[in-house]
Amino acid sequence: MRSALGVIVVFGALAVVPAAAQKEQTWKGAISDSKCNGKHTAEHDGKKMTDVECTKVCMNKGAKYVFVSDGKVYQLANQTSRTIASHAGQQVELSGTIEGETITAKSIKAPATK
């Protein structure tokens, strides 16, 4: 009985370690869509568009939000976030946690202008 309890305690402690190891980080980059991955074309469907307009069009066609930082594309876990949607196609400072290639955004703000 004691050894079973010891095993449960050890597994419980190990399960907490990965969660505690996830430290919040901040990145600079752009909220984009999984279709364009930050490389927006000047036109969609024959219309000239900004990055913001392009991201919104792609999202309406079923794309997912992604975050592009230093040429690397990260998936965003919180796809239904209104904050992410309000910054679609924009350069931002994103804070959150990362697991593998997926970021869970905690806060997003436009970078300070000089």
41-100 residue pLDDT tens? 666 777 888 889 989 999 999 999 999 999 999 999 999 999 999 999 999 999 999 999
Task: Read off the pLDDT of each residue in 9-32 and give the average, rounded to a whole number.
Answer: 69
Give the CA dihedral 50, 55, 58, 63, nearest 10 degrees.
160
Q: Phi first, then psi: what are they for 14, rounded to 5°?
A: -65, -30
Label the pairing between strands 72-76 and 102-109.
parallel
Q: What is the pLDDT of residue 26?
A: 95
Q: Which residue has the tokens 């900004």?
A: 50
Nearest to 102 by CA among 72, 82, 81: 72
Of 97 and 37, which is predicted with more confidence?
97
